[in-house]
């Protein structure tokens, strides 16, 4: 069946480039004619810099600068007020999976929605969907992944250079949809600094045993004068997964009266294939006091849904971006940074050869941040953010015919020292949202935050932060009324839903010494109104599916996450590290006095890591306990132990070229692993033992 052509909004395309270029772009010759940047207040003393290893072998640490945690400028994970983690370099390349959620599964406080191998979204502290925002280079992914777990995030993890995970509410800087956390992706699509080479790049490919995965990629970059550019492309294809046992869980088989599993699928997970391809081209003018650039990105994927043997999804997205930064643009301003993204998105849910439901969306989002020079003892930034999304849903199972969502926000973040080692940080955001669908609603969502950061030494920080955050309901939560075949539910919205509101507090301790690095956080988040999709136990006569209602209840989340790294031996260039980590979250519906659904169980784990300029090796062991705190109509999930390992050899070749060979093993114990955070965990386990071989050549 021929797919319908995506609807276009031609006025958005020139506006995407012309608005930032004419209003925000620095004038010709600004690098030479403008006054020098104002002097910044002297920073606190910091330990001497250590040698940074080649990119492939960088080990992420608390000293790694992060950009998502502060609008004033990059701060380290050690210094950040909110808990933030980073994944990059060899660690990211060795753990990259087909979906973003599966790639970040090993991080403290993070799990995977895991609907299918081709569709997995990060879940942070038990919260996912529209509460966890995923950004590409500072702007939303502009997709519909937040509407349902079977919708993929249109991002290829192998193309990402760096991931930052901001835990806890990040609504102040990034919007109401970050009420549960933030995942910031940096893929270098628009160069922010000179490349320094006429042409350089990286090409490679790999193969995996458990799903017959074949993957290849190429990434090029270069510089001509003040213009830097990049181009990249990838292709990946995998067959149905090998699994250790039955596709259905023993709990489900017992419930169905077939404990032996007679006649059920086993050893291979039906309809779990995934295919994806895409690429991007981008460039920027980079000068002493900033940069201005643009990029175009294309992503295409086709993947099956294991819970429905005849259903698969085909997804396409075309995205345009422009970003820039201008240092010391005018008196009183330290810098001004802007980013605008436009996306033309379409995905179709096929039932056999026939198109069942088609989602089409054109969306644009932009933001401007101005970091000001110190006002007395205060330093900070003021920002504006706006967005528009036009969603159309067609087909026999269109649970929401159309939705137009417009938002605009202003936010401010300020900090000041109280004593020599104690800082105060305050923030506020006001966001208005207009939702136009089968009804029309307007919301005003304020958010506030305050925090204290105590740094008694250059290597230790204690941070206490509190936030009031609010989020407007989505069009689906308000007006959905129809079957959703992929999730086997009949969804019904509530137009009387109010803002989703929460108050929360985080207490963090971080230290980074020569022999021990550690980060631990305890958190509590109380929702005054928590919007959830809850089963009713009633079957819709027309579709035969169970009815699920969007309802607002009081709820609370409480938990802890911790990671300790022991630097057993070595120095800045090579060494042996031993890691230990744990996380736990307990979530409760306070109105019903029941656990919330799909909350990950307690986890503990550890790793042994060897790093050197020529050899990188890592062994990870993670144990997830049984989850028997279940919501209504939810089955318990067995405990599991997962063992992963990777080793990479780097060979230096003439003329600054290099060759990297990598061997990765996942689920080496071949255990049955089911993620309680997954909607399909009782019919779709994780893959069994798999060995993956890859090779990369950089020049």
The C-alpha angle with vertex 550 and arms to 585 and 272, in degrees rounded to 5, equals 70
What is the rounded distance in angstroms from the CA atom of residue 144 to the CA atom of residue 480? 14
* pLDDT, position 356: 83
* pLDDT tens profile 319-373: 999 999 999 999 899 999 999 999 999 999 998 888 888 999 999 999 999 999 9
Nearest 5°: the CA angle 224, 228, 233 is 120
pLDDT above 80 (res 23): no
Question: CA 666 to CA 646: how far, in whole Å?
Answer: 9
Q: How large is the C-alpha radius of gyration of the chain? A: 24
What pLDDT shows up at residue 670? Answer: 97
pLDDT for 60 equals 58
Q: Quick check: 423 and 453 in contact, CB under 8 A?
A: yes
- Segment 410-427 mean pLDDT: 94
Nearest one of 173, 154, 202, 190 to 55, comparing CA atoms: 202
- Backbone angle region of 105, left / alpha / beta, with phi > 0 → left and psi within -120 to 50 → alpha: alpha
CB atoms within 10 A of CB 316: 18
Mean pLDDT, rounded, for 48-69: 56
48 Cβ contact partners less than 8 Å away, ≥ 6 residues apart: none
CB 557 within 8 A of CB 583: no
Q: Which backbone phi and psi does 607 adopt, to 5 degrees?
A: -155, 155
Q: Quick one: pLDDT at residue 36? A: 42
Distance of CA 596 to the CA centre of its chain: 22
CA triple 58-64-70, angle to 5 deg? 150
Question: Once rounded to an integer, what is the mean pLDDT over residues 656-673?
Answer: 96
- The 8-class DSSP code of residue 380 comes to E
Q: Long-range contact list for 436-441, CB < 8 A, 24+ apart?
A: 436/403, 436/404, 436/405, 436/406, 437/400, 437/401, 437/402, 437/403, 437/404, 437/475, 437/478, 437/479, 438/400, 438/401, 438/479, 438/481, 439/478, 439/479, 439/495, 441/473, 441/478, 441/495
More confident residue, 407 or 351: 407
Helix, strand, coil distribution of the chain in percent, nearest 5: 10, 55, 35
Give the Cβ contact number of residue 177 at 10 Å. Answer: 23
Q: What is the mean pLDDT of residues 175-200?
A: 91
Q: Return the half-sphere exposure (C-beta side, CA atoms, 13 A cut-off) of residue 397.
A: 23
**Phi, then psi, of 198 in degrees rounded to 5:** -65, -50
Residues whose CB falls within 8 Å of the CB of residue 43, separated by 6 or more in sequence, listed in order: none
* Chain-centre distance for alpha carbon 256: 36
Beta strand pairing call for 546-570 and 575-589: antiparallel
As a residue count, the chain comes to 699
For residue range 125-160, list pLDDT tens digits in order: 999 988 999 999 889 999 999 888 999 999 999 889
What 3 state SS string does 517-562 have? EEEEEEEEEEEEEEEEEEEEEEECCCCCCEEEEEEEEEEEEEEEEE
For domain 12-33+49-698, which architecture applies?
A: Beta Barrel (2.40)
Q: What is the DSSP letter of 113?
A: -
Half-sphere exposure of residue 562: CA atoms within 13 angstroms, side-chain side: 14
β-bridge pairing 65-66 and 75-76: antiparallel
- Which stretch of DSSP H or E encloses residue 433? strand 422-436
Q: State how far the Cα of 86 lies from the Cα of 92, in Å rounded to an integer.
A: 10
List, for residues 303-315, the tens digit of each pLDDT value. 999 998 899 999 9
Band of pLDDT at residue 30, cut at 50, 70 and 90? very low
Q: What is the per-residue pLDDT for 8?
A: 40
DSSP 46-103: -PPP-PPPPGGGPPP-TTSEESSS-SSS-EETTT-SS-EEEEEHHHHHHH--SSHHHH
Instruction: Label residue 258 exposed, middle or buried (CB < 10 Å: 0-12, 13-18, 19+).
Output: middle
Arithmetic mean of pLDDT over the chain = 89
Three-class DSSP category at 209: coil
Which residues, at least 6 apart from 200, have a Cβ–Cβ distance to it below 8 Å? Answer: 220, 221, 222, 698, 699
Residue of 93, 112, 87 lying closest to 164 (CA atoms): 87
What Å distances lie between residue 138 and 133, 182, 184, 198, 480, CA to CA? 11, 11, 7, 27, 30
- Per-residue model confidence as pLDDT tens digits over 463-477: 999 999 999 999 999
Q: What does each C-alpha distance from 426 to 173, 256, 462, 486 come to in angstroms? A: 12, 54, 17, 43
Please answer whether residues 183 and 100 qualify as being in contact, where contact means their C-beta atoms are separated by less than 8 angstroms.
yes
Confidence band (pLDDT; 50, 70, 90) for 44?
A: very low
Asked if pLDDT for residue 86 goes beyond 80, the answer is: yes
| Mean pLDDT in residue range 679-693 | 96
Nearest residue to 305 via CA among 476, 115, 451: 115
DSSP state of 485: T
The pLDDT tens digits for 270-301 are: 999 999 999 999 999 998 899 999 999 999 99
What b/e sequence results for 387-422 when a residue is b if at least 16 CB atoms lie within 10 Å of its CB, and e otherwise? Answer: bbbbbbbebebbbbebbebebebebbbbbeeeeeee
Percent of the chain with pLDDT over 70: 91
What is the model's pTM? Answer: 0.89
């Amino acid at each position: 069946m021929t797919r319908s052509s995506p609807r276009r909004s031609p006025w958005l395309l020139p506006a995407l480039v012309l608005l930032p270029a004419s209003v925000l772009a620095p004038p010709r010759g600004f690098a030479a004619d403008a006054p020098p940047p104002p002097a910044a207040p002297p920073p606190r003393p910091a330990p001497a810099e250590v040698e940074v290893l080649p990119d492939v072998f960088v080990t992420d640490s608390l000293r790694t600068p992060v950009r998502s945690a502060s609008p004033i400028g990059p701060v380290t994970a050690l210094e950040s007020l909110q808990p933030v983690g980073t994944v990059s370099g060899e660690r990211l390349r060795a753990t990259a999976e087909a979906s973003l959620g599966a790639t970040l599964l090993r991080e403290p406080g993070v799990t995977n929605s895991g609907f299918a191998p081709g569709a997995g979204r990060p879940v942070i502290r038990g919260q996912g969907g529209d509460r966890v925002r995923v950004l590409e280079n500072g702007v939303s992914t502009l997709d519909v992944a937040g509407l349902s777990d079977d919708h993929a995030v249109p991002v290829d993890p192998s193309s990402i250079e760096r991931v930052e995970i901001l835990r806890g509410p990040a609504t102040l800087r990034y919007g109401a949809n970050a009420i549960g956390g933030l995942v910031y992706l940096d893929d270098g699509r628009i160069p922010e600094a000179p490349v320094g080479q006429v042409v350089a790049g990286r090409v490679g490919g790999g193969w995996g045993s458990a799903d017959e995965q074949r993957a290849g990629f190429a990434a090029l970059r270069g510089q001509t004068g003040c213009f830097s550019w990049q181009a990249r492309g990838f292709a990946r294809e995998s067959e149905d997964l090998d699994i250790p046992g039955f596709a259905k869980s023993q709990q489900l088989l017992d419930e169905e009266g077939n404990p032996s599993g007679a006649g059920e699928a086993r050893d291979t997970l039906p309809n779990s294939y995934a295919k994806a391809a895409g690429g991007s081209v981008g460039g920027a003018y980079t000068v002493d006091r900033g940069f201005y650039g643009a990029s175009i990105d294309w992503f295409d994927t086709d993947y099956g849904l294991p819970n429905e043997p005849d259903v698969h999804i085909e997804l396409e997205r075309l995205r345009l971006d422009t970003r820039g930064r201008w240092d010391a643009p005018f008196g009183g301003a330290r810098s001004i940074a802007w980013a605008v993204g436009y996306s033309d998105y379409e995905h179709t849910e096929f039932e056999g050869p026939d198109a069942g439901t088609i989602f089409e969306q054109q969306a644009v989002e932009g933001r401007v941040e101005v970091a000001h020079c110190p006002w007395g003892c205060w330093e900070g930034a003021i920002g504006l953010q706006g967005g528009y999304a036009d969603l159309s849903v067609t087909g026999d199972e269109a649970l929401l015919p159309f939705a137009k969502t417009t938002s605009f926000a202003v936010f401010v973040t300020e900090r000041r020292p109280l004593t020599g080692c104690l800082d105060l940080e305050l923030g506020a955001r006001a966001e208005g949202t207009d939702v136009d669908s089968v009804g029309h609603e307007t919301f005003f969502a304020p958010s506030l935050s305050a925090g204290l950061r105590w740094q008694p030494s250059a290597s230790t920080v204690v941070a206490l932060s509190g936030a009031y955050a609010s989020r407007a309901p989505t069009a689906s939560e308000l007006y959905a009324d129809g079957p959703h075949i992929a999730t086997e539910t009949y969804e019904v919205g509530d137009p009387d839903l109010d803002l989703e509101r929460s108050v929360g507090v985080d207490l963090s301790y971080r230290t980074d010494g020569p022999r021990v690095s550690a980060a631990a956080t305890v958190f509590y988040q109380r929702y005054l109104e928590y919007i959830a999709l809850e089963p009713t136990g009633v079957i819709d006569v027309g579709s035969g599916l169970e009815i699920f209602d969007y309802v607002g209840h009081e709820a609370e989340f409480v938990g802890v996450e911790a990671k300790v790294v022991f630097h057993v031996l070595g120095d800045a260039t090579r060494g042996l590290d031993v890691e230990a980590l744990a996380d736990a979250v307990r979530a409760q519906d306070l109105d019903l006095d029941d656990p919330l659904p799909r909350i990950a169980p307690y986890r503990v784990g550890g790793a042994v890591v060897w790093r050197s300029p020529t050899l990188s090796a890592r062994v990870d062991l993670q144990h997830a306990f049984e989850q028997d705190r279940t919501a209504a109509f939810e089955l318990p999930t067995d405990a599991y132990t997962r063992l992963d390992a990777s080793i990479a050899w780097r060979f230096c070749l003439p003329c600054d070229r290099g060759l990297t060979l990598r061997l990765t093993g996942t689920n080496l114990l071949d255990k049955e692993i089911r993620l309680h955070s997954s909607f399909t965990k009782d019919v779709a386990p994780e893959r069994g033992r798999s060995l993956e071989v890859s090779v990369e050549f950089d020049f």
